[in-house]
Amino acid sequence: MAKRTKVELSVSEKLELLSIARITKAEKRMVERANIILSWHDGKSFVETKKELGVSEVIINKWRKRFEAKRLDGLRDAPRSGKPPVYTAVQKARVIKLATERPGEGYTKLSQRRIAKKVGMSQSKVQTLLSEADLKPHKIDYWCGKSTDPEFESKMINIIGLYMNSPENALVLSVDEKTQIQALDRTQPLLPLKPGMPKRLTATYKRNGTVALLAALVVHKGEVTAKTIDKNNSINFLSFLKELYKKYPRKHLHIIVDNLNVHKHQMIKEWVESKKRITLHFTPTYSSWLNQVEIWFNILTKDVLKGGVWKTRKHLVDQLMLYVANYNIERAKPFKWTYTGKPLQK
């Protein structure tokens, strides 16, 4: 069979074909078709493509013609003939029932594959039915349960008031601890990110100790003060309060903390009462989400902790403190208030 001339591809077509060819989880037949067209684009003959990809000239000719006629759409499978299976309303209702009830048999949830097996239909049909019912059994959202604190409203209003209107000549600081940060090393070197492949870590690891991080967020500036500690206790928390007291002289400190016992120890209470420039404000029970430093801890987790590798505990400590220093220089700013006051419905 005669050699064909090189096929011209648009930039978007070439990127799409390269993406299909390089994604390791793509269907084998789609990878083969993409490579046939890319080989054609490179000006390779039938013989060269056949040798390189291990496919027949008939297959090469088929997908070249399909691409020539319909471009990228031509590489997709044509609709299959035959009447699709018909499922009864009872079977469809059972799919919804299985997806929304407690599964039993030791399972926490049922996969689409297990639901399909129980009702006797294809997994793709189960997926379609669940999609039509707007059900996503693979997804879990978390929401804040109702606080049992009888003073919830007054405490909440007090904290929101500090966020919205800072008292004159005062600083509002959100303070909390992030405990049990593990210094994990991997048994094999990290494989870096590259086209078509994410950054990869071995599943096996070595523990090099843990670190706790005390952090204070200046709400109306965005500045963060942080300190690593070996153990989360009242002594370390009091020491941190004293450091904040010295760091911000001539300012009254309104410090927002949660209801952890280490924050309410008698020695802390006595020290606070002995000072004129500091007031502790406790979030309502089960409402630590009101503390803005939790937002910063989430940023820290994404930027530093997720996927991190540390040879020693000191390595982790040094990275945490370097991150805090750079955050204050490059990114520190108040979190923007976006909630409009409209009640949230569940």
Give the pLDDT band (50/70/90) at residue 342. low
pLDDT in tens, 214-259: 999 999 999 999 999 998 999 999 999 999 999 999 999 999 999 9
Distance CA 34, CA 201 (A): 30
pLDDT in tens, 65-79: 888 888 877 777 666
Per-residue pLDDT for 24 more than 70? no
| Angle of the 112-119 helix axis to the 123-132 helix axis, nearest 10 | 110
Distance CA 187, CA 200 (A): 12
Mean pLDDT across 81-108: 78
- Which of these ranges, 67-76, 83-92, 262-271, 308-317, has the smallest mean pLDDT? 83-92
- Write down the pTM of the prediction: 0.63
The one-letter code for the residue type at 133 is A
How many of the other CB atoms lie within 10 Å of CB of 173? 29
How many of the other CB atoms lie within 10 Å of CB of 4? 16
Tell me which range, 30-34, 48-52, 267-271, 308-312, is most confidently predicted by mean pLDDT: 267-271
pLDDT in tens, 38-51: 888 887 888 888 88
Burial of residue 287 (CB within 10 Å: 0-12, 13-18, 19+) is buried
Per-residue pLDDT for 94 more than 60? yes
Question: And the tokens for 84?
Answer: 């699709």
Mean pLDDT across 313-326: 95
Mean of pLDDT over the chain: 85
Mean pLDDT across 30-59: 83
Per-residue pLDDT for 1 more than 50? no
Give the pLDDT band (50/70/90) at residue 90. confident
pLDDT at 241: 97
pLDDT at 82: 65
Mean pLDDT across 140-148: 73
